[in-house]
Homo-oligomer: A and B are copies of this chain.
Amino acid sequence: MASILIIGGGGMVGQKLASALGKSPLSRANDSVTLFDLGFADNGAPAAHRVTGNVTDDALVSSLIAQRPDVIFHLASIVSGEAETDFDLGWTVNGRAFWNFLEAVRAEHVASGEVWRPRVVFTSSIAVFGAPFPDKIDDTFLSAPQTSYGAQKAISELMLTDFSRKGFLDGLSIRLPTICVRPGKANKAASSFFSGIIREPLNGKEAILPVSTDVRHWHASPRAAAGFLRHAALIDLDQVGPRRALNLPGVSCTVEEQIEALRDIAGNDVVALIKPEPDEAIGKIVAGWPRDFDPERAKALRFKAESSFHDIINTYIAEDLPKS
């Protein structure tokens, strides 16, 4: 039986991961899964154990680490927009608390006589990249983030790699594509519309499209994200080598291609619910985002995403579209 701690287990990806582990445990027996987050939705994924608290609570984090889980998924962070408007909060949670987490793991590793060395899978982001970009970003392209969130993710990757190199833990950072189609409500993230223009029409609602249809971006489904995490927990790290931050596979497509995929699957009436309403501010932000990747290493390591945006829409319909 594998014992698993999911830090940020109450969020959308954490819940998808918990569900996925319920169906396909990491070990032959059922896993023992602890979810840790600020709070949990009532209808969330089942789990043996839920712990409510803040990642900045060092004593609480240390008490969870003291359970010596085999695998720790670290998904918790202040999101991009909030880290940009609240500089201290972003650096405190995404910076200082992550460092303290690593030190707590190291202390427990030492306390165990250097026997306990957990797999730590950290969700990084393509926000570690900043424009200008090549058409396809390859595995040796620099991290030059242009947001505090991106800087914090890049720094966390560097620390996780160094703690791994020293043998305190076995870490791997995975840079998730923009997750699409996110279930639930729209939020104020600049990327929200990528999900919104698919999700809202499929639910019979209008969706605003704030950018030009020729905008190209990089996507994977929530199910693919859970699969990346599960694969990162099981992979042979000797095959990964010393560079412990990976660009992941995804689907590169334009908004127009997204819309045409929706038309193929759901028809003209559904597509007609998309209302173009250009928003210069959002257009400017999105222009600074990566468009496409050549994630050679992750592909060789058998990380798998969808192969088309059609698949991404069908995943949403199968897993998250409310049945009417």
* B residues less than 8 Å from A154 (CB atoms): 158
Partner of A243, one of B144, B148, B155, B243: B144
* B residues less than 8 Å from A144 (CB atoms): 161, 242-243, 245
B130 with A243: CB separation less than 8 A:
yes
Rounded to whole angstroms, the CA-CA distance of A245 and B130 in the bound complex is 13
**A113-157 interface bits toward B, Cβ cutoff 8 Å, 1 = contact, 0 = none:** 000000000000000001000100001111111101001001100
Rounded to whole angstroms, the CA-CA distance of A6 and B246 in the bound complex is 38
Q: A206 at interface (Cβ–Cβ under 8 A)?
A: no
Rounded to whole angstroms, the CA-CA distance of A139 and B140 in the bound complex is 11
- Copies of this polypeptide in the complex: 2
Rounded to whole angstroms, the CA-CA distance of A146 and B155 in the bound complex is 14
* B residues less than 8 Å from A87 (CB atoms): 166
Nearest Cβ distance between residue A130 and chain B, in whole angstroms?
7
Nearest Cβ distance between residue A128 and chain B, in whole angstroms?
9
Partner-B contacts on A (CB < 8 A):
87, 130, 134, 139-146, 148, 151, 154-155, 158-159, 161-162, 165-166, 242-243, 245
